Structures are given as C-alpha cells and as structure tokens.
A and B are shown apart, each in its own frame.
Chain A
Amino acid sequence: DAGVIQSPRHEVTEMGQEVTLRCKPISGHNSLFWYRQTMMRGLELLIYFNNNVPIDDSGMPEDRFSAKMPNASFSTLKIQPSEPRDSAVYFCASSFTLQETQYFGPGTRLLVL
C-alpha cells in the first residue's frame, strides 16, 4: 500500500485565495483525520470522519474552513478565504477504526502570503 497520500505537498498562495487540500486514505481504513501543526499551537485535530461521515468538527477554527469526504477514498479540506495565520503544515491521517493506530500522510505545507 502506498500509505496516506496528500496533495499538494507544498502550497503558496495569497491572502484571500481559496485553498484545497486533498487526501487519499489507506484502502480499507474507515476513519480519516485532518490535523494542523504549527510551532505555536502544536498538533491540532481539526475534524475527523468515520465511514465518510463527519463525527467531530469542533477543532475547525472558523467557518472559512470546511472538509468533505464524498467517498471512502477521498477527502478535501478547503480554506476560503485564506489568511496568513492559516500558514501551517496540514496532515491527513487514516485508521482502520477510530481508536486504532493512525497512519499519517506526509503533510501539505501551506504558506499564505
């Protein structure tokens, strides 16, 4: 298995632009997680899905952030409009069940100018 795949790996955009991050979980995994990591705030859980259904989005910082999981093999995290404070590394992770080992993707490094 190729592991969790994220794209793009790097994104540089200007404030106000829409940003879409993509994630393909490991085949057969039923749970998917989106995290954000910064030096200041550490690793933050933004939202997670189980069987394609969002379970808890309380970590999503603002209405500018939205996430979807239209099927078991694809999820997106969208920021619209983006702001400089959104600059961070965004990780996607998947697991077989909610409580088992999570496998992380390589992350998307986002810079909003």
Chain B
Amino acid sequence: SQQGEEDPQALSIQEGENATMNCSYKTSINNLQWYRQNSGRGLVHLILIRSNEREKHSGRLRVTLDTSKKSSSLLITASRAADTASYFCARTETSGSRLTFGEGTQLTVNP
C-alpha cells in the first residue's frame, strides 16, 4: 500500500486558474518526484527535487519542498484543459532504495 499522503484527492478548477497539490510523508527522503498520468496511460515524470533543494521550476510547474514539515507542493499555473490528469508524488527514502508513490490527486481543468 502507498504511504504518501496527497491532498486533495480530487481537484476541479477552471481553465486559467492555478492548481496546487500537496504531498506529505513521514520519513527522511533523498529526493521527491512528481509524476503525471493521463487516463489509460503510463506515468510520466515531471520534476525531481532533492532533499537539499527548496524550490524548482519547469515551465508552468513549480515544486516546493519543506523537509522540516515533510511536505511538498506542486503548483500548475495558468492551467489548461490538457492538464487534466492524475498527479502523483513519489519519494526515495534515505532508509530504503525504492521509490514510494502516493495515491495521487485527480485534477480536472474545465474549459
């Protein structure tokens, strides 16, 4: 079972609005990654942030990491209908080697 907690579980917004998704975890991590999954497709890597980084940008995506609060957020600015997908956070813990995925946030962007 997954141990990352993401909220909200589902988010519905209008095109042009910003979407923020959050991810919390319980252990120390080496890095945290965000992935996107379109319906019926495989997961696609979006961005990786290492434990010594606080913020990263990629196009309309902004990821923050607060290791003291054990949380990360993914912000999608100026959302588009094509951003509709499930978004997963995944972390690599310092105590283990494998990537652990959260349960995902289903984002719907209405045109």
Which residues of A are interface residues toward B (Cβ below 8 A)? 4, 33, 41-45, 48, 50, 55-56, 91, 93, 98-107
Contact = CB atoms under 8 A, between A and B. Distances in A.
B42 A45 contact: no
Interface stretch (B14-22, B61-69, B99-107): B99-107
Contacts of A45: 98-101
> Main SS of the interface on chain B?
strand
A55 B97 CA distance: 9
B30 interface: yes
B2 interface: yes
Given A99-B31, A102-B43, A107-B42, 6 more contacts: A33-B98, A43-B2, A55-B98, A102-B99, A105-B42, A106-B42
B25 interface: no
> Main SS of the interface on chain A?
strand
A98 to B, nearest CB: 4
B88 A101 contact: no
B33 interface: yes
B43 A91 contact: yes
B18 to A, nearest CB: 25
B3 to A, nearest CB: 11
B42 A98 contact: no
Contacts of B1: 41, 44
